[in-house]
Homo-oligomer: A and B are copies of this chain.
Amino acid sequence: MNQEKEKDLMRWDMDTYEAIATEVLEAIPFEYPGSDTEVAYVYPEFTSVCPWTGLPDFGELTISYIPREKLVELKSLKYYLNSFRNVGILQEHVVSRVKEDLVQLLNPVSLTVKADFRPRGGIGTQVQADFRS
């Protein structure tokens, strides 16, 4: 495949950060506030787009937190994570963005977002962002 043709293929319509559906996130009350509880969600189907090559990235996202008074509603979390599908965003920045959106929503005691991306150029990337209140 010649490089001219390849460059054409790469020019698909990548979404900007605006497409991230932060507004779809919903919180629900946690029935045991003040208890010593930890919650984790594992999402092996995360995908976004590399802003430089236009090629898709795939990874497993793990969100874990100690709730204060709110839990994230699971279906809203799914739609939120799906909204990254066509967004151009670096692997190293995905976890920080998700962390900030969820901390804003939940006001948790602490929260961690980890991502384990499949290899690109033979190199797998793992990123973790932590919030401690």
> In whole Å, how far is A131's beta carbon from the nearest beta carbon of chain B?
7
Q: Which residues of B contact A20 (CB under 8 A)?
A: none
In the bound complex, what is the Cα–Cα distance between A71 and B38 (angstroms)?
25
Copies in the complex: 10
Count of interface residues, chain A, beta-carbon cutoff 8 Å: 59
In the bound complex, what is the Cα–Cα distance between A79 and B122 (angstroms)?
11
Do B127 and A37 touch across chains, with their CB atoms under 8 A apart?
A: yes
Contacting residue for A37 out of B39, B44, B128, CB 8 A: B128
Residues of A within 8 A of B (CB): 1, 3, 5-6, 9, 21, 24, 26, 30-32, 35-45, 47, 55-56, 58, 64, 67, 71, 73-79, 82, 85-86, 90, 92-93, 95-96, 118-132
